[in-house]
Amino acid sequence: MTVAQKNAIAKSTRELRTSDDEFEAAFKILKKYPKRVTFFGSARLLPDTKYYNMAHDLAVRMADNGFAIISGGGNGIMEASNRGAFDGENVSVGFNIKLPHEQHLNSYTTDSLQFNFFFTRKVMMTFYTHAFVCFPGGFGTLDEVFEVMTLIQTGKMPPVPIIFVGNKYWKDLDKFIRKNLLKNHLVSNGDEQIYTITEDFNTIVKIINKSYNS
């Protein structure tokens, strides 16, 4: 066996151990915070945009209600939500992913972990939260939220609130689900109630608090 082959095997073994270590390290972080809300949304929305500011302000409200704010730790909506909690001196968690040329941890986290594996990061951001707040985003955001909806639909995770923030942005998705999926019996009656679309912060706080306390 060549030196290169030995190094490849050793690297593979280290990576397998690292995925287990990532789960363990993330569990330790989350166990410290009994109330948790995960924010999803685009990394491309800048601080001068409407939804960045809304994510910041909603994170302030949720953090003031005792929830740790969890994001993917990057820019855009992730930064905005972390910043909202951070500005109020509340818990701001960033679960960042290591990528070659992008996705650096934002500077507004009070607790963070850098993941090497997408699957471990996704598990820790979804299965151990009490609600999801979804701002406008691209393929990554849609991937995350549709996986969550599928897990709730199939009973593989508890039916926690999924809040879509951005009435204009999400209305076409809601229309597609009702017109094409529900009407053609591709989802069941009631599946359209897995999520809520609203920009009203009082409604969002009420829904999440009611779900957590039930």
What is the arithmetic mean of pLDDT over 64-91?
97
What is the rounded CA–CA span in Å between residue 198 and residue 8? Answer: 50
Residue 193 pLDDT > 70, yes or no? yes
**Of the candidates 74, 106, 69, which has an alpha carbon nearest to the alpha carbon of residue 84?**
69
Half-sphere exposure of 167 (CA within 13 A, CB side): 4
The predicted-structure confidence for 78-132, as pLDDT tens digits, reads as follows 999 999 999 999 999 999 987 765 568 999 999 999 998 889 999 999 988 999 9
Residue 135 pLDDT > 60, yes or no? yes
Element (H, E) at 197: strand 195-197
**What domains are there in the chain, each with its CATH number?**
24-213 (3.40.50.450)
